[in-house]
Structure 1
Amino acid sequence: MLKVLVASPVRQKPAVLKEFLWSLEQLETTGMDLAFVFVDDNDEESDLLRNFAAGRTNVRIFRGGTSEEYRCDENTHHWRDSLVWKVAAYKDRFIDMAKDEGFNFLFLVDSDLVLHPKTLIHLAGLGKDIVSEVFWTRWQPELPPLPQVWVAHDYRLYEAQRDEVLDNDEMVRRISAFLKMLQQPGTYKVGGLGACTLISRKAILMGVSFKEIYNLDLTGEDRHFCIRAAALGLELYADTYYPPYHIYRESELAGLEAYKNRHFSAAPQPASQEALQVKVQAAGRRAKRGSRITLAMLVRNEAGRYLERVLKHAARYVDSAVILDDASDDNTVEVCRTALGHILLTLVSNGEPSFSNEIVLRKQLWNLAVGTDPDWILVLDADEIFEDRAVQELRGLAANPGVEVYSFRLYDMWDEQRYREDAYWTAHRYHRPFMVRHVPGFNYEWQETPQHCGRFPRNITQLKGAASDLRVKHLGWMKPADRLAKYYRYKQLDPQGRYGIMEQYLSILDPKPNLVAWTED
């Protein structure tokens, strides 16, 4: 379970603060243990903060220091130097709390943001030490919307070499390229960030701070924080998958309803977490502690294919299931609930798809599974199914205390009775990991590529492994229509063959592949 401290200095108009606090209540937190801390820097103690804390044991509120005028109007926010460093001191206090109390992450967030419900769980899954979710603001009414992240210096929005001299046209071109990049879903290295930032324990222990660097004349505590972090050897990242809504002016409250309709009302949701679908269907059978098997699976628009068959088979040997639905627009979710029957099920539906960036989904699924306190995590795709004897044998494998990773052979089925075997189709000759024991305290590391990143962290090879003779059927190639769809998907997502093998992509449509008869053991 990840411990996350959500922290914010608050000097805010009630109408704006109300929306900020509401969005905190909507955050998805599966696999996380959240605590909140606020510095109430309002002239009078905030009733909204007190109401947020009422009945919660994980909320702390501290009163701010000496009262100073801080003016926000329909033009801009008016900061004085003394205010900047007072806020910096508040943020350093939060850093000290996170350090002393053993939090895995500190999430520093401004109180004029309405957060997307997936913000925290997504940022924590990126594996970055310092990362901000990007939002866009008209810093002056006459300016176009601009991000709160930048490339270098005070707020430079373009790349340039140290001695490079640019004319105005080239400068505009590079600024446009940077802004266009940030408008695409992704995670990008930047030179400066702030306002909606997740900081890892590693960064905290290395000594990040908002304290003023005395010989640096840049304005704003975030700039001093970023420069100090870079000097410590830490990299800064901006993520653009789940932008928050920035209420920079009270007039911008008028646009909030549209944002909520897009991101909080995609499907029927529990009242407390509108973007999260978690369904516990029954207590389910419980195996002996230490040998429980948790199925973890990614799904997207799998109704009418192999999902029902796969889940009904898995329900015969697993104790629980964690399913991450990547914004399906068919009845995939209903198929999952029905097919698993009595199995204890945690099901989370993303509001927007991320299938073009597999690593994000794989890490999200892993974190969800780890959050259920599993013994074993068995990762199957929605078109993968064990041969029948696995129903009797998998539990015996899970009961072996001397093994932490089990590997199996995967057979690419070209129809119900035959699998493919030729130059680029040899997966069945090798064992690959499908079932991993969760080892608390182990520092899991991922292959950070958007496609073919692996279903498990890459360093599980350091754990004690064993190969099993149980076999897995890969059903996803059996229909010609499926093969054609996969061919075009790989060509679209990996056109240069950077993450896979181009020759294998091209061989998918081979009209006369070599097929071998499947026989049950």
Structure 2
Amino acid sequence: MNYRVLLASPVKQQEGILSEFLDSLIRLDKSQVDLDFVFIDDHNDHILLSRFALEQPNVRILPGDTKHEYLCDESTHYWREELIWKVARYKDRFIKIALDEGYDYLFLVDSDLSLNPKTLTHLISLEKDIVSEVFWTKWKPELIPLPQVWMEDQYALYKSGREPLSEAEITKRTQEFLQMLSRPGTYKVGGLGACTLISQQALSRGVSFGEIYNLGLTGEDRHFCVRAVALGLELYADTHYPPYHIYRESELSKLQEYKENLAYAKPEKIINRNLPPEQSDLSLYDKFQAHSPQTVNPGKITLSMLVHNESGRHLERVLKQAAEYIDHAVILDDASKDNTVEICQEILQGIPLTIHSNKEPLFHNEILLRKQLWEMAMSTHSEWIIILDADEMFEDDGPKQIRELLNHSSDVAYISFRLFDLWTENHYRDNLLWQAHKWYRPFIVRNIPNFQAKWQETPQHCGRFPKNITDLRGGTSPLRIKHLGWVRPQDRLAKYYRYKQLDPNGTYGNLEQYLSILDPSPNLVLWEK
């Protein structure tokens, strides 16, 4: 007997991405499955869905309701409350159809995925009431790839069980969770979405994506997951056949490699640091190593830093710590009018130092500065490049650990750390708008000969490294980085006005976060040493 499955997706999608999604649906293994499709056409400006319905049997297309503007770019996707709950209504409509028409399973799939042909039949074989196939995404270009499943709350990648945890324990549990998901298997999780198979039993229990009015979590998937667990159901994540997430249009170029890998993928050989499993066996780093002459100085570390009018702030403290573990320093001075350059020369005396001062400040177009600094750093031929801003430094044990960390990182091209926005010397800021410390970002990269850097070409918030650094194999470190730039009230005010001037509409950053800088009573958490 075949299982009756309804594959459903709300669709508001770019034509190139949707074409790949639909193509992957055609290629799904349908053995022992009677598969029907239902889509909600949410005001698309192309005819791909209609063409799919003409070419495939058992397809229905429903019209979307009120039109809302949905914004996404090469950085991220921007979800507003009205959009979230519109999508929730669409998904609940799919649930009703599946229940009314007696389907054995509802398969909810986001329209920016390219599915492995074995995904559906494998998920059914697991005999779970709710299970998602895991994929990995760089939610912002400068971040490492992370899964779309989690353990608790909004997006906690660790289990706390309400016990107070030290930062070291949080880091340890997060790394254990990510390592677990890098191995082929099926694992119980606390949250999931985007590629989810739901059984008839779960549907009949009353699962729903509707808002739970007294729950402050953002996103309809979180309300679905909380309600499901409250109804006595369990949530599972599977890692055998990860889809390819086309989160940005630029990622279409890498899809062909994913498709080619499907033919010979061997899940048992996956080696995952921070990469999606389909990218782990052969990274760009391996190719560079194989085909590039060795022109770097092994073990050497270059500090690379932008500075501008840093006198009386944090520069002296930052450089004194860096001097304990670096072999070379590259300083790009953005037309300082104080004695910033002299501070650098004094503190770094005895360490090879390259300083260049621009005649005119360029911070209004940050991408130019980042590219300039990158080229300066690469020219030092050190094996490792550390890029810190003039108000960033490692925690106290950093100098003792950095060199040992790099000595044991021969198989990675970059190392990521968490950055803590300190609001006082002993407290960091923590709320939905201030969560840098929950994400791992690259701060150290290997100097790879002939690496072709690709940048996020925006005048602000462009990232300190080329965006394609995270296409390589990376690692993470529990070492924390202090961001001191918010500690002094006068610096906060200066940053607030700078963002208002350079990005008044929040085009490149988050306007709500800019406004929150002046919050007189922010939520602060004690920095644990």
TM-score normalized by structure 2? Answer: 0.50
Counterpart for residue 230 of structure 1: 229
Q: Does 1:11 align with 2:8?
A: no
Counterpart for residue 492 of structure 2: none
- Supply the AA of the counterpart residue of 1:223: R
Task: Quote how far apart the aligned CAs of 1:142 are.
Answer: 1.3
Provide, for residues 104-155 of structure 1, a one-character-per-residue CA deviation record: whole Å limited to 9, x for no partner: 0000000000000000000000010000000000111111100000001110
- Say whether the 8 Å CA contact 1:12–1:42 is kept in structure 2: no
SS in 2 for 1:142: coil
SS in 2 for 1:65: coil
Counterpart for residue 68 of structure 2: 68
Moved over 6 A (4+): none
- Supply the AA of the counterpart residue of 1:77: H
Counterpart for residue 144 of structure 2: 144
Q: C-alpha distance in 2, partners of 1:34/1:243? A: 20
Provide, for residues 322-344 of structure 1, a one-character-per-residue CA deviation record: whole Å limited to 9, x for no partner: xxxxxxxxxxxxxxxxxxxxxxx
SS in 1 for 2:164: coil
Counterpart for residue 109 of structure 1: 109
User: Matches of residues 221-370 of structure 1 in structure 2 within 5 Å?
Assistant: 221-263=220-262, 265-266=263-264, 352=266
Tell me how many residue pairs correspond in the alignment.
269
Task: Quote how far apart the aligned CAs of 1:56 are.
Answer: 3.3
Identity %: 62
Query: Which sections of structure 2, spanning at least 5 residues, go unmatched?
Result: 270-529
- Say whether the 8 Å CA contact 2:240–2:267 is kept in structure 1: no
Counterpart for residue 293 of structure 2: none
Task: Quote how far apart the aligned CAs of 1:43 are.
Answer: 4.3
Q: C-alpha distance in 2, partners of 1:186/1:65? A: 39
Q: C-alpha distance in 2, partners of 1:102/1:201? A: 8
User: Matches of residues 101-500 of structure 1 in structure 2 within 5 Å?
Assistant: 101-162=101-162, 164-263=163-262, 265-266=263-264, 352=266
Q: Does 1:34 align with 2:38?
A: no
- Say whether the 8 Å CA contact 1:27–1:120 is kept in structure 2: yes
SS in 2 for 1:120: helix
Query: Which sections of structure 1, spanning at least 5 residues, go unmatched?
Result: 267-350, 356-521
Change (3 A) 1:26 1:43: closer
SS in 1 for 2:196: strand
SS in 1 for 2:250: helix
- Say whether the 8 Å CA contact 1:128–1:200 is kept in structure 2: yes
- Supply the AA of the counterpart residue of 1:33: D
SS in 2 for 1:86: helix
- Say whether the 8 Å CA contact 2:13–2:44 is kept in structure 1: no
SS in 2 for 1:54: helix
- Say whether the 8 Å CA contact 1:113–1:246 is kept in structure 2: yes
Alpha-carbon RMSD across the aligned residues, in angstroms, is: 1.6
Q: C-alpha distance in 2, partners of 1:143/1:124? A: 33
- Say whether the 8 Å CA contact 1:43–1:67 is kept in structure 2: no
Task: Quote how far apart the aligned CAs of 1:57 are.
Answer: 3.5
Q: C-alpha distance in 1, partners of 2:82/2:72? A: 16
SS in 2 for 1:176: helix
Q: C-alpha distance in 1, partners of 2:113/2:57? A: 24
Provide, for residues 149-175 of structure 1, a one-character-per-residue CA deviation record: whole Å limited to 9, x for no partner: 00011100011131x222222211110
Provide, for residues 391-415 of structure 1, a one-character-per-residue CA deviation record: whole Å limited to 9, x for no partner: xxxxxxxxxxxxxxxxxxxxxxxxx
Q: C-alpha distance in 1, partners of 2:266/2:50? A: 33
Provide, for residues 66-102 of structure 1, a one-character-per-residue CA deviation record: whole Å limited to 9, x for no partner: 1111001011000100000000000000000000101
Q: C-alpha distance in 2, partners of 1:66/1:173? A: 45
User: Matches of residues 48-87 of structure 1 in structure 2 within 5 Å?
Assistant: 48-87=48-87
Counterpart for residue 23 of structure 1: 24
Q: C-alpha distance in 2, partners of 1:166/1:353? A: 33
Q: C-alpha distance in 2, partners of 1:236/1:165? A: 24
Task: Quote how far apart the aligned CAs of 1:247 are.
Answer: 0.5
Q: C-alpha distance in 1, partners of 2:267/2:219? A: 36
Task: Quote how far apart the aligned CAs of 1:353 are.
Answer: 6.8
